[in-house]
Amino acid sequence: MAKQLRVVIAPSGFKESLSAEEVAVAIAKGVRAACPTAETILLPLVDGGEGFTRTLANVTGGTLHPITVTGPVGQPVEAAVGILGGPGPRTAVLEMAAAAGLRLVPRDQRNPLVTTTYGVGELIRFALDLGAQRILVGCGDSGTNDGGAGMAEALGARLLRADGTPIARGGGGLADLARIELGGLDPRLKHVPIDVACNIHNILCGERGVARVFGPQKGATGSQVNLLNVALERFAAIIKRDLGHDVRLMPGGGASGGLGAGLYALLGARLHQRYAIVMQYLDLDTHLATADLVITAEGGIDFQTPRGKIPAEVARRAERFHVPVIALAGTVGAGAEVNYAHGINAYTSILKAPCTLDEAIASAATLTAEAAENAVRMILVGRTLAQQARSRSTAPTRRAASALPAAATPPSRRTALPR
């Protein structure tokens, strides 16, 4: 009897479409359509972006506390701070995407010169109001590029022009920054450590700076990218002069449009490789150790995937247990083939024909389930072929000469046959 197929499903969410939980459910549906007897283990993953707060609160038996904060274009948005369950200091968890995520920026208003992280500061203040003894911030899926200036302003910092007036909100305002004053920061911050789960590959400035790499996907034009880069260079220079921190090329400083640098330099936060934080709460490795197959997923797979994205992290861990990994993606972009060298054995787009973005988003769950079903059917064909090959390789030794007609039996062996 064939061994039951054990499939670990460990996807990211699809930005502005499906949560990680919804992607996992869709993949499981496809797996079972192809192989009803398969055992599926659903482990939706987060990397600091959307779903970070809810997931960590849920897995620790914690609680969620809703609040209305300022969104990235100044509108009120509904967000939440989680309080983790379990032992240890009272830990609040929050995600910047809930207050300043790209999905909160209307498509016709996507301009990181003006979007703000002010609401992130309001979330941190609310965490302090909830009695947090430690704060855990998730960075990811941002729609901002202001270096965390808005966040710091909401907590009492003053970022000023030469004439002493506050700079404008948004990444563009940093171009006018003349000095930073932290005397008005919420005094509770001195006694509450802040840990940040971020992509440490992202840096603030330079040719690989966050404005150049991620500005366009947040709506920045070519000229706006240049303006943002100049503004962040000035931000880094003023931080170094006034606060003594060199954040220009600091690992993780570019996380979430420079929020990593702002949290570190302005609030004294500690930046961590995001999976070092996340995997403290999600027991992925235990399940990988007994899996036959891993299916992961991401909104897009390309040359940047190995730089800290969920599919690459899943593949890195699965490789230690010699478990094959398939990645499903909304889109397959330039340089995606580099992922073969990082533990992803195969990848495919969930799209079967050209369509608009709105159509893809509306059908994402169905497309994901169908892609997972097709992938598993291919694997089952491979299993069948492997079984047939093994059967053929052993068949000649079992049948040998007794299956040959008498006239074809080699003379040297004919006398050895029973009469």
99 and 189 in one domain? yes
Q: Would 259 be classed as within a structural domain?
A: yes
Q: Would 58 be classed as within a structural domain?
A: yes
Average pLDDT for 240-252: 97
Q: What DSSP designation does 348 have? A: E
Q: Is 228 helix (H, G, I), strand (E, B) or coil?
A: helix
228 and 375 in one domain? no
The strands making up 63-70's β-sheet, listed across from edge to edge, are 63-70, 76-83, 91-95, 134-138, 194-198, 270-273
Core vs surface per residue 12-37: b (16+ CB within 10 A) or e: bbbbbbbbbbbbbbbbbbbbbbbbee
Contacting residues for 141 by C-beta, under 8 A, at least 6 apart = 15, 49, 50, 97, 101, 102, 103, 256
Q: Give, in order, the Cα–Cα distances in Å from 260 to each of 38, 240, 347, 361.
A: 42, 15, 31, 30
Contact (CB, 8 A) for 156 and 125:
no
208 and 318 in one domain? no
Alpha-carbon span 185 to 121, nearest angstrom: 11
- Is residue 39 over pLDDT 80? yes
Q: Would 350 be classed as within a structural domain?
A: yes
Residue-range definition of the domain harbouring residue 31: 6-45+283-379
Residue % of the chain over a pLDDT of 70: 94
Specify the range with the lowest mean pLDDT, choosing from 49-53, 270-274, 357-361.
Answer: 357-361
pLDDT band at 16 (very low <50, low <70, confident <90, very high): confident
> Which tokens hold the place of 116?
């703000």
Q: Would 404 be classed as within a structural domain?
A: no
- Is residue 319 over pLDDT 60? yes
Domain boundary among 277, 303, 337: 277
264 and 168 in one domain? yes
> What is residue 308's predicted lDDT score, i.e. its pLDDT?
85
Q: What DSSP designation does 237 have? A: H
Average pLDDT for 204-208: 94
153 and 118 in one domain? yes
Contact (CB, 8 A) for 247 and 265:
yes
Contact (CB, 8 A) for 234 and 305:
no
Alpha-carbon span 351 to 333, nearest angstrom: 13
Q: Are β-strands 179-181 and 194-198 bridged in parallel, bridged antiparallel, or unpaired?
A: unpaired
Q: Would 389 be classed as within a structural domain?
A: no
What is the reported pTM?
0.83
**Interhelix angle 20-34/364-399, nearest 10 degrees:** 40
196 and 92 in one domain? yes
118 and 15 in one domain? no
pLDDT band at 60 (very low <50, low <70, confident <90, very high): very high
> What is residue 53's predicted lDDT score, i.e. its pLDDT?
96
> What is residue 396's predicted lDDT score, i.e. its pLDDT?
59
132 and 267 in one domain? yes
Domain boundary among 277, 301, 320: 277
Average pLDDT for the chain: 91
Average pLDDT for 129-139: 98
211 and 66 in one domain? yes
Q: Would 211 be classed as within a structural domain?
A: yes
> What is residue 2's predicted lDDT score, i.e. its pLDDT?
55
228 and 243 in one domain? yes
- Is residue 411 over pLDDT 50? no
Provide DSSP, 75-134: -EEEEEEEE--SSSS-EEEEETHHHHBGGGS-GGG--TTT---HHHHHHHHHHHHTT-SE
Contacting residues for 293 by C-beta, under 8 A, at least 6 apart = 5, 6, 7, 8, 323, 324, 325, 326, 376, 379
Q: Is 30 helix (H, G, I), strand (E, B) or coil?
A: helix
Contacting residues for 147 by C-beta, under 8 A, at least 6 apart = 171, 174, 204, 232, 235, 257, 258, 259, 261, 262
Task: Count the neighbouring beta carbons within 10 Å of the beta carbon of residue 286.
Answer: 8
102 and 78 in one domain? yes
Q: CATH number, domain at 345?
A: 3.40.50.10350
> What is residue 395's predicted lDDT score, i.e. its pLDDT?
67
Q: Would 207 be classed as within a structural domain?
A: yes
Q: Are β-strands 179-181 and 158-160 bridged in parallel, bridged antiparallel, or unpaired?
A: antiparallel
The phi and psi torsions of 282 (rounded to 5 degrees) equal -110, 120
Average pLDDT for 196-221: 95
- Alpha-carbon dihedral angle through residues 249, 255, 256, 257, given to the nearest 10 degrees: 10
- Is residue 405 over pLDDT 90? no
> What is residue 352's predicted lDDT score, i.e. its pLDDT?
85
Residue 336: HSE in the Cβ half-sphere, 13 Å Cα cutoff? 20
Domain boundary among 223, 243, 277: 277
pLDDT band at 412 (very low <50, low <70, confident <90, very high): very low
- Looking at the structure of the chain, the number of domains it has is 2
255 and 298 in one domain? no
Q: CATH number, domain at 97?
A: 3.90.1510.10
Per residue in 328-349, pLDDT tens?
A: 999 999 999 999 999 999 999 9
- Is residue 414 over pLDDT 80? no
- Is residue 398 over pLDDT 60? no
Contacting residues for 153 by C-beta, under 8 A, at least 6 apart = 118, 121, 159, 166, 169
Q: Would 403 be classed as within a structural domain?
A: no
- Is residue 378 over pLDDT 50? yes
Average pLDDT for 297-321: 93
